[in-house]
Every structure is written in C-alpha cells, then in structure tokens.
Amino acid sequence: MSYEIIGITVLWTFLYGYIIIASIDFGAGFFNFYSKVTGTDNIISPIIGRYLNPVWEVTNVFFVFFFVGIVGFYPDTAYYYGTALLIPASIALILLSIRGSYYAFNSYNKESKMSWAFLYGVTGLLIPASLSVALVISEGGYIIQDDSGIQLNLEELLFSTYSWSVVFLAIITVLYVSSAFLTFYANRARAKEATELTRRWFLIWTLPMLVITQFVFLGLRDHNYEHFTNAQNVWYLFGLSLLFMGIAVYLVWRRINYGLAFIMIMMQYGFAFFGYGISKMPYILYPYVEINTSVVNDAMALALTVVFVLGLFMLIPSLGLLLRLFLFDKDYVQGKDNSKY
C-alpha cells in the first residue's frame, strides 16, 4: 500500500475515534449541566463523573494526534488550513481550553460551581460546531487564493446551507452519541433512574439526527456536486449506516442490550464517516490539497509509519487496561470501589 493511502487511513480512523469519544465527553458535560439546571443532577452527575474522571485527558490526545498526524503526512495542509483557519481554529482552541480546564477545575474544586459547570457544559456543544468548520471548508469554495496568499471567504461560509447543516449535524451527534453511551453506562451501573433519563434523551435526539443527515446530503449536492456523485457511488455504505441506526434505536426502544445498541451506533457512524471519506478522495482540501501530490517525502513517510505501528503496540494494551479498569470493571462502574482520591 502506498504511503498516502496509509496516512489518510490512519488519520481518518483516528478522527473517527475522536468523534465518538469526544461526542461522549462533550455531551456528558452538557447533560451534566442540563441536569443541574433541571435538578436531576443527583441522579446522573455521579455516573458521568465516574466515567469521565479517568479518561478526559485521553480524549484530547486523539485530537492532537489527528492534527499532528495530518501536518506530518501532508505538510501542505499546514499551509492551507493553517492560513485559512486562523480565526475559526483560534475560536475552537479557546473553547477547547475553557472546557478542558473548567472540567478539571469543577471536578477537583471543593464544591462544584454552577457557572463552571455552565462553562464546560455549553462549550462542549460549541466545540464540535467550531471544529466542523475545518471539514466544511475541505469541500472547497470557501477559500480564495490570489497573489497575496490564502484568505477564508467568511461571508460565503456564514451564508451557506451546507456549512450550517454540518454545524447542526455536529451538535446533534454530540447529544445523540453521548446519550446512547450514558444509557449503556448507567445501565451497567444499575442506576435505574439514570438509565431511564438518558434513554429518553437518546430517543428524543433520534428524529433530529435523521432529519439533519438529509440536510447534509442536500447541502453537499448544492455545494460540491462532484463529491455528491461520488457519494452516490458508495450509497450502500450510507444504507448500511441507516440500517445500523435502525437497529440501535430499536434496541434502546425495547430496552434490550444497550451495549449492543452502542456498538450499532459506532457502526452507524463508522459507515457514514468512511463513506464520506472515501467519496471525498483524493482531495483533502478541494481542489488545492490532494493526497497524491502533497504527501510528505518517502523517508519521513516511512519513519512515521514505523513509529505509528510501534506506537500502536504500546497504546492498544494501555487503552485496554484503562477500559478494563474503568469501563468494564463492575465494582468501579457501580461505585462499589472505595478508592479515595
């Protein structure tokens, strides 16, 4: 396999991983805040905390991994995205920083503060929206290149149906994925009330989820017809994605096997995300950055691939240990572990 394919597959997979675990993380922060406002926080907040506390740092690394990787494998992206995204990416960074730090401030402070819960809850919803701008501009048409260099066409971005549909997709994804995960986790914790609460949140968000995906396709048709036709060629991937969503919703609706339901949701996103990615090829940023022409020199590509494989040997067992201790350890999940911190 050539380096450009290896590179993009690795990066796309990591981005996929980030979308799933960050959605859980961001959504959990929002639901934590929401439950404080509605007075149900004694039901759900301890469960959210028990899950989030040991893993919050790891979520962030997935993101760092992605952007370091993409600049490494395709240095041109640093130039194009770097220049175009100065303002949008700075906004995303500020939101990420507020969220990341106030999560820690709130969790490790003597008592939780409403305003801090607000900061990290609400920024959690805005971060995916602001990060999705990078995916939106990858479709082309939002960047102007002339003699002075690159500029982002902000007006085009703000008044485009496609960009807004992606933004809403990002927000709804967060709420949809995290409520599904929390249903599973609460159920494992044998917290009946919490399970019912999160199950209801999940079911509420399924309808907007269906609607927004249609809008994204319509927006893409208007914005980048070439990509839209490519997407139609892999229609079966999107079909499978819809099928998995159906199974997930059915399982949660009937209250059977929330774990399987969450795996179905991961499949739903997996197929849609890779379907989108495959149909995008060969462009990373239409039409400026192509994977074939912008890939890093061979020596570096080889070194990166070797490091990546070695890194995985180290990461996978460590991640496995983390999950075993905090996600699959019954006593911990049910709050019976009396480790004091």
Partner 1 sequence: MDDVILGRVLTATTLGFHIIFATIGVGMPIVFMVLEFLGIRKKDTDYLTMARRIAKGYTVTVAVGVVTGTIIGLQLSLIWPDFMRLGGQIIALPLFMETFAFFFEAIFLGIFLYTWDRFKNPWHHWLLNIPIVIGSSLSAVFITTVNSFMNTPAGFDMVDGELINIDPLAAMFNPSTWVRVFHVVATAYTTAIFLIASIGAFKLLRSKFNEDREYHKKGLKVMMVVGLIAASMTALAGDLSAKFLHEHQPEKLAALEWHFETEDNADLILFGMLDEENQEVKYELRIPSFLSFLAGSSFDTEVTGLNDIPEDEHPPLVIHYFFDIMVFFGFYALGISILYFIAKFTRLDEHHPALLYAYVLTGPLTMAAIEAGWFLAEMGRQPWILRGYMRVSEAVTNADGLGVTLVAFVILYALLGFTCSYVLLRMFKGKSAQQDRFDLYGERYKGGQL
Position among 69, 124, 128, 275 found at the interface with partner 1 (CB under 8 A): 69
Give the up-direction half-sphere exposure of residue 302: CA atoms within 13 A in the CB hemisphere. Answer: 3
Question: Does residue number 4 form part of the binding site for partner 1 (CB under 8 A)?
Answer: no
Question: Does residue number 263 form part of the binding site for partner 1 (CB under 8 A)?
Answer: no
Question: Does residue number 120 form part of the binding site for partner 1 (CB under 8 A)?
Answer: no
Which residue lies nearer to partner 1 by CB, 267 or 300? 300
Position among 98, 167, 197, 237 found at the interface with partner 1 (CB under 8 A): 98
Question: Does residue number 61 form part of the binding site for partner 1 (CB under 8 A)?
Answer: yes
> What track of x and - describes contact with partner 1 for positions 306 through 325 (by CB under 8 A)?
-xx--x--xx--xx-xx--x
- Of 98-106, 166-174, 177-185, 222-230: span binding partner 1 (CB under 8 A): 98-106
Query: Least separation, in Å, of the C-beta of 90 and partner 1?
Result: 5
- Of 32-40, 102-110, 218-226, 278-286: span binding partner 1 (CB under 8 A): 102-110
Give me the torsion for CA of 270, 312, 27, 205, rounded to 10°.
10
DSSP-assigned letters across all residues of 232-251: HHTHHHHHHHHHHHHHHHHH
Rg (CA), the chain: 20
Question: Does residue number 89 form part of the binding site for partner 1 (CB under 8 A)?
Answer: yes
Query: Least separation, in Å, of the C-beta of 129 and partner 1?
Result: 17
Scored b (16 or more CB within 10 A) or e, 176-204 reads bbbbbbbbbbbbbbebeebbebbbebbee
Position among 215, 228, 283, 326 found at the interface with partner 1 (CB under 8 A): 326
Position among 2, 90, 232, 292 found at the interface with partner 1 (CB under 8 A): 90
Residues 6+ apart with CB under 8 A from 219: 160, 161, 162, 163, 164, 165, 166
Please list every residue from 122 through 181 that binds partner 1, using CB under 8 A.
148-152
Scored b (16 or more CB within 10 A) or e, 244-264 reads bbebbbebbeeeeebeebbbb
